[in-house]
Amino acid sequence: MASSGLGNQTAKMYNLAMLRIPATQARQRWAQTMDSAHREPVTITDHGRESVMLLDIEVARRALQALEDAEDAAAAQEAQAAIEAGEETVPLEDVARELGLRLE
């Protein structure tokens, strides 16, 4: 099965021995659950099914930034392909005028 570069990075980033605990235990031991989440992602289950994941804020920020960067790169590639296919583009001056901006 082929996978994208992002998928490979995600797999490497989260191929950890993640802690998996029931929601009841997470509530009863909230301080310990939070401490664990600072070290590794904690998957919280509800009736045996994965429900939410708790992770350190810096890990979450990096993951969200990586996702946003990947989406931006995909949009840029799509736009480049459209330009190369001869699709019409909008001149910068027209965009600026529509937004009420002055170019200098």
- The total number of structural domains in the chain stands at 1
Kindly give the pairing relationship between strand 19-22 and strand 42-46: parallel
Would you say residue 52 lies in a domain? yes
Residue-number span of the structural domain to which 76 is assigned: 5-99
Would you say residue 51 lies in a domain? yes
Kindly give the pairing relationship between strand 49-54 and strand 19-22: unpaired
pLDDT tens, position by position, 25-68 = 999 999 999 999 999 999 999 999 999 999 999 999 999 999 99
Would you say residue 104 lies in a domain? no
Would you say residue 79 lies in a domain? yes
DSSP the chain: ----HHHHHHHHHH-S--EEEEHHHHHHTHHHHHHHHHHS-EEEEETTEEEEEE--HHHHHHHHHHHHHHHHHHHHHHHHHHHHTT-----HHHHHHHHT----
Would you say residue 45 lies in a domain? yes
Q: How confident is the model at residue 13 (pLDDT cuts 50, 70, 90)?
A: low
CATH number at residue 63: 3.40.1620.10
Would you say residue 73 lies in a domain? yes
